Every structure is written in structure tokens, then in C-alpha cells.
Amino acid sequence: MNFLRGVMGGQSAGAQPSGTETIQKLCDRVASSTLLDDRRDAVRALKSLSKKYRLEVGFQAMEHLINVLQTDRSDSEIIGYALDTLYNIVSNDLEEEEQEENSQKQADDLGRQFTEIFIKQQENITLLLTFLEEFDFQVRWPGVKLLTSLLKQQGPQVQQIILVSPMGVSRLMDLLADSREVIRNDGVLLLQQLTKSNAAIQKIVAFENAFERLLDIVTDEGNSDGGIVVEDCLLLLQNLLKNNNSNQNFFKEGSYIQRMKPWFEVGDDNSGWSAQKVTNLHLMLQLVRVLVSPTNPPGATSSCQKTMFHCGLLHQLCTILMATGVPADILTETINTVSEVIRGCQINQDYFASVNAPSNPPRPAIVVLLMSMVNERQPFVLRCAVLYCFQCYLYKNQKGQGEIVSTLLPSTIDATGNSVSAGQLLCGGLFSTDSVSNWCAAVALAHALQENATLKEQLLRVQLATSIGNPPVSLLQQCTNILSQGDKIDRRGSKVQTRVGLLMLLCTWLSDCPIAVTHFLHNSANIPFLTGQIAENLGEEEQLVQGLCALLLGICIYYNDNSLENYKKEKLKQLIEKRIGKENFIEKLGFISKHELYSRAAQKPQPSFSSPDHMMFDHEFTKLVKELEGIITKAIYKSSEEDKQEEEVKKSLEQHDNIVTHYKKVIREQDQQLEELKQKVNTLKSQNEQLQTAVTQQISQIQQHKDQYNLLKVQLGKDNQHHSSHSDMLQMNGIQPEEISKLRQEIEELKNKHEVLQGQLREKDSVIENLKSLQSVTGITEQSSQIAASSGLEHANELHRELEALRIQIQSQSSDISKLQSEKQELLQQMGLFRTKPYCWGKAQNTASVAALGHSSAVVAAKNNELEGRLLQEIKELKNEVKALSEEKALLKQHLDSINSTVAVLQDEKSKLHQEVAESKKEQDDLLVLLADQDQKILALKDKLKELGEPVEDEDDIESGDQGDEDEEEDGEEED
């Protein structure tokens, strides 16, 4: 222990040993000591010496330290000291600020050498991974730092060892779930180094739920307002997603894009942004760009773009774009991000066109951005970003191109001048005295014409007012005028830059547009200017202008329709041969593709220039040059006869293409008609099936009604049997049917007599009433006939006698009536007695039996009447039901007949359709035969062209190109 105290700084009696000797003794103690405490103290001493004597400790103690890690795993303290010592040996993080560059390089080499020694045995890395599973802070944290340093020194080798180690990556992912922030944050740094440039490890980390954990950390730390931990998480996310299509697809399908939206929620007060917040937001914007980069597969990019629109992320970015107080670098990166989010996506481009700036009056965001682009006071990087945004807005967006060009046409220009349009800003920038504005406006206008022949023709109508009193000139003429003036105009910036921009605009405008070429050739000064520029021997800067002039002249030759007599193809070729020379012309044309700035611009779509002087070429223009350079070279060397043959071949090919297009259209229409007829057949089949099911349902209902009718019929038969059994019971009780019939006859006779007497009584009552009325009348006549009493007395006596006779007759009849009524009362009493007393039959009581028999016959008659009434009522109801069922059956039969007729009609239509399909197949066979003949003719013509030395593109290449364009368009239209 005294020895250790001396090493740690204690006083000793003798001379102090050197560092190398001390380290050697400590290593011997670690290797030979049997006590754990002695070994622990020795390792602690080596840790304290490892920074100052890094080389000595590394060479002498590394083997012993590794042995400690293998043998003393039970003691966390000595393991922690050993890991810290190894970290100090391997790490290149020097604490002293006064270290020079040479010492830093030596330290880097030293750390790399020690790392190679450590990882030479792969078991050391596996052992280190096991220590990372320990929860003890004293072991886990040094292990994380050591593995991070090893990855920094020898990343690919350590990555490969971890990749083949069982559950190696999964062990490291557990660090993100550690509750101690120090270990979690260093775990993020470790995963940063682990995932660099290794797609396999990136996929494993992503599928170990890394996205979820990292986004949770970012949210917990406060999103963009968080500290450096948020920055580390964002860098790790970039490592996982950049150039990794599998992880990008997993990120999108896991709905993690939606979780990025809160990152860009910026308040109204944007003053006083911290440096860390700027860094975090910058990384967040870069992460969005990774998902929608133009270098990604088109399908994946389009899907991410649509998701960003639907979840509102594009809206948040546009809000930052139009906000005030945003730092310039964040605003620039936001413009670049919005550019790539809307690039080639129609729905996002339409939304961006609808965004307005919060101004009074509101202006479209495109107009506000173009104002910044043509304003020379704005930062150069910001102006490049606005140009990129405008290019992305117009990329594969014919609708947007048409809207931009329409702002230049005479019919749509605002006559009041209250609002500035995009076209006016582009024209202003095109003809300003700032060369950067000239170049940016020319390139932006060229993108508005890209691959759109209709707009190229419409732009020829644009007229510009140059000065008061002078007639307006066309935009094409004004561009050529400025181009010809060249150095005469005093401009700020590079003069070559302005001419390069105008020449790129003219080349884009005239390519694939013979009408524009004719307008350009109408100006007799243009061709002499171009030939003069090409023929001169100018400096290196002017060689680029000469090459572009040669390209423009070649476009005028290749796309010339020979409508102008003085500027036909052959005459222009002769002019080149006389004044320039074909070889010189081709050499000047080659200056473009050989230029260094051309190669830089061809690498990626985003215009990124280190300085305004390097702003020369546009990415889309480099594609045009690559396409036209070889075509123009061949067109220059062709003879007139070859041109004529080529034109004839072109015409024949165009005719053939028209024929093929026509037949394709016919076949497409026939296919469409077949599809419609098939749909009709399917609908009719479905209707037929529905009707069949309805018929089966009706048949089942009819069967149910038949069953109910049969049941009622059986019940009626049972009631009749019951009635017959009742009559049999009466016979068994001693009453014969003959007696019952006699009693019924007597009852009927009594009823008839009663009815006759009632009728006589009514007649007598009517006679009495008549006599009473007659008596009242006679009283009146007596008063009126007193004058002639003698003449009417005898007549009155006669009437009186008749009256008396009638009264006697009435009295006798009334007595008869009373007798009949008494007899009636007796009969009713007898019937009442019969109801209340029981039956009693016997030979000794004939009178009583006759009365009882009469009563029983009355009861039987009443019951029979009641039963007959019920039966009649049920029979009547059954008849009504049968009648309704027969009517329903008739209706169903009629419906079934109509269905059968419909089925017959469908069968006829089906046979007709089969006949039409056969005819269409026959027509298609004829068309295929005709197409085969045409293909033979084309092959013959192509062979002729090849014999003449003309390049002929294969039809498969053309079709594959067309198919690729169609796929891109379909991907662009998906979504909605």
C-alpha cells in the first residue's frame, strides 16, 4: 500500500520512479496479486495515469485490463476502473486546448492503433456487450463510452462484429429505455456511431422500435425548444432514414410522419430564437427533406408527400414560410423543404398555389417569394431557395405553368396596376440591371415552358412596352435585343451570367417548337449575331457563351420547318460551313458539357452555388443539352438528300403512328363498349336472380296458404262429425227422428196460425182506424147537412147500422184474439217449464213426455241453427280466403309469365352480345394482321435508315420510356 501511495502522489524517501517503471510495476501487481483489493487499487492507479501516459498504459496494461474484465466480473468497481482506463487509452478527446494539430493527428493514429489491438479478438467486443446489460451505473456508463469510442475509431469493423454477435443490436437498444438520462443520452450517441453507413444495422435498429422511442424523447424534451438531446435524436433519425428506402417506408406506414407536425408549431412572437432551437428546427426540416428527397424512389416520395398534405404538415411549413421574425437560415431551409414536399405532387402544388401571405391586400405566396428572388438586397442563398421552390412548383405541373404564362398574356394583365403578377415580376427580373436577377428570372421562365409546346406558342403573343412613343416589341425580340447588346449595358455582377441565362431561356423556348424557331428567324439580325459570336476567338469566359450560341443555332437547324426561304436548313448549314466550319462549330458546341459548372449542375435538381459567379447552369437545362448535343451534331453533317429521306421517313412514321393510334383508339373504344355490355349483362343477371328469389318466395307463400286451407277443411269435417254424433245421442235417449220431425211440423203449423191471426188483427185495426176517421168526417157532414135533413136522414140511419155491425164484429174478433193470446201464454209457460225441469221419459207419463219432447226439439233446433250459422260463417270466410288465394295465384302466375318473357329477352341479348364479341375478336384479328404488315414496313424503313447511317431508336426503348412516364403520372395522381 505504501507503494501505491507513492504512485498516487505520496512522499517517498528515495528517488521518484519514472512513469514507465511505475506503470510496469502496476501491471505486475494487477497480473500477480491474489487479493482483489490490491488489484482494484492497481487498476485505479492505472486509470489515473492513463491520460498522461496514454501510450505506455496502452501498450503495457491493455492485455491485463482485458484479463481483469474476464476474471473479475463479480466486482463492479474494478470493472468500472478497467473500462474507464480502456476508454482513456482509445479515446482521442483531448482535454487540453493547447494541443497542436500535429499532436492531435498523433493522438488519432494512437487511438486507431489501440482500437485495432482491442478488436483483434472479437470476444472483447462480445464481452463489452455483456457489460452493457449490467444495470450498475459504474459499469454500464463506462462501457457505453468505450464502445462509442471504438466505433469512432474503427466503425466498419466494430459494426460487423456487433452485427454477427447474438442479440448485439438489441442489447444496445435497451440503453434508450434507461431511466438515467446520462446513460440514455450517451446511448443515443452510441447508436449514432453504430448506424453510420450500415443499412443492415439501420434496419435492425428501426425494427427494434427506435422511431417510437426517439420521437418520445424528442416530445418529452420539448420538441424544437429542447436541448442538445433533441439534436442527437434527430441526427440518429437522419442516419436511420437517409438513403434507406425500407426504413422510410416503415416510418411512413407506422404513422410517424403525423407525429412530426407539432415540431413546426411556431407562435406569433418569433423574436429571440436560441441557437439550439435554430439547430433543432434546422435538423427537423432536413429530416422532412430526407423523406421527400428527389433521389428517393418516385413512388415512396409521392406517398410521403400526400401523407404530409393530409396530416397538415405542409400547412405548418407554409405557416412558417409566411411568418415574420423567422431567422434567415431557418426561412431558407423551410423554403427548400416546402419545395421538395410539393415537387411533382399535383395536390400539394395546388395547395401551395392557394396559400396567401398575411398582407393587405393578401398576395399569393408565389408572388411574395418571387419578389424576394428578384430583389438583389436579399441573401443569395435565400434567392436560390426561392428559385428552387418555383422550379418544384412547376415540375410536371402543366396547370401551374399555364397560370404563370397567363399572367403575361395581354388578356389577363391587370390594367389598373394595383397588384403585381408573377409574370410581371419575372419580366422585371429578366430585364433588370442585376445579373443574378436576370439569370434567376430566365431560368424560372424556362421552367414555365418546360415540355409544354402549347405555352411556348402562347408566349410568342407577349408584347412589351420598351419606352414611351415606341411601339411594343415581343418578349422574344426583347430577349434577343438584350443578348445582342452584351457588354454595352452596365450591369451589377457577371455579364456572362446574364447572357447565359437568356441563351438557356431561348434554347428551352425554341426546342421542339418550329413556330418559335420561325419567329426567331424572322429577325434578320439574329443569325448573323449567332454566327459572329461562334466564329470569334474569345477568352475562356466567353467560350461558354459561344457554346450556347452554337446550341441555339443548332436548334434553329434541327427544328426548322423550312417555311422561310432564306433560312432553310440547307442554307443555314452552308452558312456554318463557310463562316465557322463544321469542326469548329462542333468543338464550340462541346464547350458546354465539358465545363465544370455543367457537371455540378447535372448532379442534383437543387440550385446550390457557393457564390453568384458559379451560378451558370440549371439542372433541367443540362438534360436538354445532353439530349440535343448528339442530335445537332448529326444534323450538321447530313446532306440535303439525307434530310429529304429523313423527312420522308418521318412522314411515313408519323402516318404509321397515326394509323396505329387510330386503331388503338378503336380497340380502346371497343374494349370500353365490351366492358359496358358486360356490366349490363351482370346487372340483368342480378335482376333476374332477384326476380327468381321473389317467385320462389311467392310459391312458398301459396303453399303455406294451401296448407292452412287443408287444415280448415279438416277442422270443418270434425265439426260435422260432432253434429252427427249429437243426433245419435238423442236417439240413444229414446227420441226417434220421426217424432222430432212431427214436433217440428206442429211447431211450424202453430207458427203459421199465429202469423195468420196477427195478420187478421192488423187488418181489423186498420178497419177500426178507417171507421174512426169516417165517424169524424160524418160529424162534420151532419153540421153541414142540417139544411137538407130530410133528404139525408135515411142515409144516416144506414150508416149507423153498418157502424154497429162493425163494432159487434170487432168485439167478436177481439175475443178471438184474446183467446189466441192466452193459448200463446200457455205455450210459452210450457216451454219455460221444459227449460227448467229435467227430462223424464216413460210410458205412464205421456202428457209430460210430449211437453218435454217439444221442449227438447226446440233446444235441438236452436243448437242446430247456431251450429249451422257458425258453419255457414266459416264456410263463407273460407270461400273468401280461397277466392283471395286464387286471385293472388293468378297475379303470381302473371308475374311469372312476365319474368319468363324477361329471361327470354335477356337470352336474346346474351346471344347478340356473344355474336358482337365474336365479331369484335374477328376485327381485332384483322387489326393485328394489319399492324403486323405495318411493323414489317417500319422495319424495312428502319433498315433503310440504318443503311443511310441514321440513328434509329428501338420501339421497345420508346415504349418503356412512355411506360415510365405513365407510371410517374399515375403515381402523381394517386389519393385522393
Between 128-142, 419-433, 661-675, 746-760, the lowest mean confidence (pLDDT) is in 746-760
882 vs 321, residue with greater confidence = 321
Q: What is the pLDDT of residue 838?
A: 36
Q: Name the pLDDT band for 672 (thresholds 50, 70, 90).
A: confident
Report residue 120 as a C-alpha cell: 483483434
As a whole number of angstroms, the distance between CA 3 and CA 12 comes to: 9
Outline where 618-639 has alpha helix (H).
619-637
Average pLDDT over every residue of 199-224? 92
Least confident of 251-265, 424-438, 532-546: 532-546
Question: Percentage of the chain surpassing pLDDT 70?
Answer: 76
pLDDT higher than 80, residue 472: yes
Predicted pLDDT at 726: 52
Give the range with max mean pLDDT: 364-378, 636-650, 704-718, 934-948.
364-378
The Cα–Cα gap between 953 and 697 comes to: 67
Residue 177 has pLDDT above 80, yes or no: yes
Asked whether residue 623 carries a pLDDT value surpassing 70, the answer given is yes
Contact 392/340 with Cβ under 8 angstroms? yes
Continuous segment of H or E residues that includes residue 66: helix 54-71
Per-residue pLDDT band for 166 (boundaries 50, 70, 90) equals confident
Residue 689 burial by Cβ neighbours in a 10 Å radius (0-12, 13-18, 19+): exposed
Compute the average pLDDT of residues 742-770. 70
pLDDT of residue 732: 46
| Whole-number pLDDT of residue 251 | 94
The CA distance from 338 to 314, in Å, is 7
User: Are the beta carbons of 548 and 500 closer than 8 angstroms?
Assistant: yes
Predicted local confidence at residue 900, as pLDDT = 77
> Residue 288 to residues 221, 231, 301, 332, 578: CA-CA distances in angstroms?
20, 15, 11, 14, 56
* Average pLDDT over every residue of 692-708: 88
C-alpha cell at 78: 474494478
Do residues 291 and 252 touch, judged by C-beta distance below 8 A? Answer: yes
Residue 797 or 191, more confident? 191
Candidate from 79-83, 151-155, 810-814 with smallest mean pLDDT: 810-814
C-alpha cell at 184: 440514455
Pick the residue with more confidence: 749 or 496?
A: 496
Q: Are 500 and 616 in contact (CB under 8 A)?
A: yes
- Banded model confidence at residue 877, pLDDT cuts 50, 70, 90: confident
Tell me the backbone φ, ψ of residue 500, rounded to 5 degrees. -65, -45
Q: What is the pLDDT averaged over residues 809-832?
A: 61
How high is the pLDDT of residue 459?
93
DSSP state of 263: G
Is the pLDDT confidence value at 972 over 60?
A: no
Q: Of 583 and 793, which is predicted with more confidence?
A: 583
Q: Which three cell numbers stand for residue 580?
A: 465557322
Of the ranges 165-169, 175-179, 288-292, 463-467, which one carries the lowest mean pLDDT score?
463-467
Report whether pLDDT(13) > 50: no
Identify the H or E element spanning 463. strand 463-464
Res 793 pLDDT > 50? no
Amino acid at 649: V
Q: Work out the average pLDDT over 256-269.
A: 85
The pLDDT tens digits for 392-446 are 999 999 999 999 999 988 765 554 445 788 999 999 999 888 999 999 999 999 9
* Backbone phi, psi, residue 31, to 5°: -80, -35
Q: Where are the beta strands (DSSP E) in 329-424?
A: 356-357, 363-364
Q: Is the pLDDT of residue 783 over 50?
A: no
Helix (H, G, I), strand (E, B) or coil at 464: strand
How high is the pLDDT of residue 355? 93
- Banded pLDDT at 214 (limits 50, 70, 90): very high
- The beta-carbon contacts of 364-368 under 8 Å, at least 24 apart in sequence, are 364/422, 365/318, 365/321, 365/322, 366/390, 366/393, 366/422, 367/420, 367/421, 367/422, 367/425, 368/322
pLDDT at position 821 is 62
Q: What is the pLDDT of residue 624?
A: 94
Average pLDDT, the chain: 80
Residue 841 above 60 pLDDT? no
Q: What is the model's pLDDT at position 740?
A: 59
CB 513 within 8 A of CB 472: no
CA geometry: angle 934, 936, 941, nearest 5 deg: 95
- Inter-residue contact 615 to 304 (CB < 8 Å): no
pLDDT band at 705 (very low <50, low <70, confident <90, very high): confident
Map 792-815 to HEC letters.
HHHHHHHHHHHHHHHHHHHHHHHH
What burial class does residue 402 get, using C-beta atoms within 10 Å of its C-beta: 0-12 exposed, 13-18 middle, 19+ buried? middle
Contact 688, 903 (CB under 8 A): yes
The arithmetic mean of pLDDT across residues 929-936, rounded, is: 75
> What is the arithmetic mean of pLDDT over 324-341?
92
Cβ atoms of 963 and 290 within 8 Å: the answer is: no
Residue 125: pLDDT band with limits 50, 70, 90: very high
Which one-letter amino acid corresponds to residue 148?
A: T
Residues 178-201 pLDDT 10s:
999 999 999 999 999 999 989 999
The set of residues, in sequence order, having a beta carbon less than 8 Å from that of 118 and lying 6+ positions away, is 62, 66, 86, 90, 124, 150
Q: What is the pLDDT of residue 266?
A: 76
- Least confident segment among 71-75, 355-359, 498-502, 933-937: 933-937
The pLDDT, as a whole number, for residue 490 is: 64
CA atoms within 13 A on the CB side of 312: 9
Mean pLDDT over 298-325 rounds to: 92
Check residues 954 and 60 and name the one with the higher pLDDT: 60
Task: Summarize pLDDT for 500-533 with one digit per residue, the tens.
Answer: 999 999 999 999 999 999 999 999 899 999 998 8
Confidence category of residue 861, pLDDT binned at 50, 70, 90: low
pLDDT (mean) for 14-30: 80
Per-residue pLDDT at 759 exceeds 70 = yes
pLDDT of residue 897: 79
Q: Model confidence over 568-610: pLDDT tens digits? A: 888 999 999 899 898 999 999 999 999 899 999 999 999 888 8
pLDDT at 14 (0 to 100): 47
Per-residue confidence (pLDDT) for residue 464, from 0 to 100:
85
